[in-house]
Amino acid sequence: MSGSTGAGPRILHLHSTFSAGGKELRCARLINAFGPRVHHDIVSAVPDRFEAAAHISKAIPVSYPKDFPSLAGRPGLGRLHRLARAMAGYDLVLTYNWGAMDAVMAHTLFGQSLGLPRLIHHEDGFNSDEQAKLKRSRNWFRRIALGRASGLVVPSETLERIAFEVWEQPIGRVRHIPNGVDTARFAGKCKPDALRGVVKRPGEYWVGTLAGLRPVKNLPRLVRAFAPLPDGWQLVIVGEGPERDAIRAEADRLGIGHRLHLPGFAADPARFAGLFDIFALSSDSEQAPISLIEAMAAGRPVAATNVGDVAAMVSDENRPLIAADEAALAASLMRLAQNAELRGTIGEANRHKALTSFDEAGMIAAYRRLYSAAIGGDGLPPA
């Protein structure tokens, strides 16, 4: 396996998937921010999901090792030892979510004997199999696997509490680093044709969201909550995933198929987030969604389910519109749809909150400090 060349730090990233989701795009943004003097090797537990790679600057030296042992499989000692040996030669190992937890366990079991670099794990939330209740077996596995990790990074207060109370992690290991975006890029006016296949026409109003079309996002719920809005309103769901047909079927069932738009995945939300008159989020499980921060940076009011840190992230003015159930979500959408002045007031408050609490400069600085301390020496070089 590749090791340090002396030209600069070499970082190994072990991802549950490298699709273009929130944690993966954050990783890509950090890689770009750390500059071309740092080399990165990226491995995905889902071998054919590397969409986030398109967001990494071509000036950055990045490799995608084909010979790295699979991150998925039975956690037998032989397989874990092979995983551990593959981590040798790097300056830092970064792991992400449950899909990379076997690698964390391998590092804890064999890291000292093999002289492995330090490891920092990142947890950003849970899939549908743990959205209602965390699995006891996984909690035990995490407690043991994280035993020698140099850090556990979480983006939300909810995950921070879980790390302390459920996974029993010491205070010194857990780092709460809120997600951030380049808020300045969301201030500009968006072109009405910024999204492929759908154009915002004069007199139209959009409820919009940006999400992977997966069951945990519960987008059929959003379709139902949107359905009572007047005919001038359109529902625009930006993203790709296996739930596309189910979303379309629900809209057709409710007779609003002509008002539903599914333009697919779209890069660079700063180009289109400002087209939404209301940003909506209908997930069963979230922690600190980057799409929410992007909408706030664009000055959008938010109607959302009360999951993760969502209620704490939005402005005080927006908090009453964070919904406990589907009926309340529908009521929040209707209230915003009927009151343009309220949309403007809340949107401005959200933008101010994004500027003061979620600008990416602070996030990048916090990750740079954490990774540099783990690498030691001069840490990460200037970009």
Domain boundaries along the sequence of the chain: 10-180+360-375, 183-357
Q: How confident is the model at residue 288 (pLDDT cuts 50, 70, 90)?
A: confident
In this predicted model, what pLDDT tens digit does every residue of 240-250 receive, in sequence order?
Answer: 889 999 999 99
- Report the candidate in 276, 280, 296, 383 with the shortest Cα–Cα distance to residue 346: 296
DSSP 66-105: SSSPPS-S---HHHHHHHHHHTTT-SEEEEESGGGHHHHH
DSSP 181: B
In this predicted model, what pLDDT tens digit does every residue of 153-187 receive, in sequence order?
Answer: 999 898 999 999 999 999 999 999 999 999 999 99
Number of neighbours of residue 171 by Cβ within 10 angstroms: 7
- Please state the pTM of the whole predicted model: 0.83
Average confidence (pLDDT) over 294-317: 96
In this predicted model, what pLDDT tens digit does every residue of 87-146 receive, in sequence order?
Answer: 999 999 999 999 999 999 999 999 999 999 999 999 998 766 766 688 999 999 999 999
In this predicted model, what pLDDT tens digit does every residue of 350-359 receive, in sequence order?
Answer: 999 999 999 9
- Give the architecture (CATH level 2) of 10-180+360-375: 3-Layer(aba) Sandwich (3.40)
In this predicted model, what pLDDT tens digit does every residue of 28-40 receive, in sequence order?
Answer: 999 999 999 999 9
Q: How confident is the model at residue 287 (pLDDT cuts 50, 70, 90)?
A: confident
Query: What average pLDDT does the chain have?
Result: 93
DSSP 3-state assignment of 52? helix
Q: How confident is the model at residue 3 (pLDDT cuts 50, 70, 90)?
A: very low
Q: What is the CATH topology of the domain spanning 183-357?
A: Rossmann fold (3.40.50)
- The angle formed by the CA atoms of residues 200, 261 and 204, to the nearest 5 degrees, is 30
Whether the domain at 10-180+360-375 and the domain at 183-357 fall into the same CATH topology: yes
Average confidence (pLDDT) over 266-274: 92
Q: How confident is the model at residue 5 (pLDDT cuts 50, 70, 90)?
A: very low
Q: Find residue 262's DSSP bridge partners.
A: none
Q: Which two tokens stand for residue 182?
A: 């380049």
